[in-house]
Structure 1
């Protein structure tokens, strides 16, 4: 559901204060209701066919940035459907400004029941690949 809305056509390359280069991708929630950030149970990214290690990805919604492992405990940090989450990735592969193919797989656990033992867990996975223009300067 809404897979094509997950990934925008533009992303940012920028230098951090420590001089490192990072990639910044804005992500949209591929669901029709707000979800706690703890419902993100998978975030896989690849740029130009090269997978990004999950340990290299941090995600920010509202209160700061968190590793994918930390996200699992964020029951009180909400990702609202009109909010944009930012995925930050160290630019280890030397991505330069311009067009790049980005593939994303974003898995969500959908909490419809107060007691999860009532029924099997429901998940939604958005998978999408598109050409993304990375913009940034002085890298």
Structure 2
């Protein structure tokens, strides 16, 4: 439904231990974090290990395993959240094909809702050094 809006354009950035980008929920209502079963990420077609992913809707980062037990936090519709990926050092400048698949548990659906987006995003060189 809102798949083409999941990965936020121009949000890719390098971090000290990998990279981060912003994303939106691919569902027309907000969800409790415990109802997000998975955030599967790929970079240039290579899947990112689940343990290397962190999610932060503004109240502090959580691993995907921690999100399963968080019942007092929500991801509102239309709100940006930061998804961080741990790697060996910062991500170098360049263009990357980023994929994100959200596996969502919706109370009235007898199956998980899958929302997917993929975009080519460019990471600008760090000019501060």
TM-score (norm. length: structure 2): 0.87
Query: Alpha-carbon deviation of 1:27?
Result: 0.8
1:13 maps onto 2:2 in alignment: no
Give the deviation of 1:92 after TM superposition: 2.8
Query: Match for 2:114 among 114, 117, 125?
Result: 125
* Larger strand proportion of the pair: 1
Contact 2:18 2:89 in 1 (8 A): no
Q: In structure 1, what is the Cα distance between the partners aligned to 2:93 and 2:69?
A: 35
Distance in 2 of aligned mates of 1:50 and 1:94 = 17
Q: How large is the Cα RMSD of the aligned pairs?
A: 2.0
Which blocks of at least 5 consecutive residues in structure 2 are unaligned? none
Of 29, 35, 42 in structure 1, the residue corresponding to residue 38 of structure 2 is 42
Over 4 Å off, 4+ runs: none
Alignment of 1:10-89 (within 5 A): 10=10, 11-15=12-16, 21-89=17-85
**Alignment partners' CA distance in 2, 1:136 and 1:34:** 35
Q: CA offset at residue 121 of structure 1?
A: 3.2
Shift of 1:73: 1.1
Cα gap change, 1:5/1:50 in structure 2, threshold over 3 Å: closer, same or farther?
Answer: same
Structure 1 unmatched ranges of 5 or more: 16-20, 113-119
Q: Across the two proteins, how many residue pairs are aligned to each other?
A: 127
Q: C-alpha distance in 1, partners of 2:95/2:4?
A: 18
Q: Per the alignment, do residues 76 and 136 of structure 1 end up closer, same or farther by CA in structure 2, a change over 3 Å counting?
A: farther
Shift of 1:94: 6.2
CA distance in 1, matches of 2:96, 2:6: 16
Structure 1, residues 88-113: CA drift from partner, whole Å, max 9, x if none? 1113386311211011111100124x
Q: State the structure with more CA Rg.
A: 1
User: What are the Cα deviations for residues 20-66 of structure 1, in whole angstroms up to 9, with x where unaligned?
Assistant: x3201111011111110111101111111221100000111132111
TM-score, normalization: structure 1? 0.81
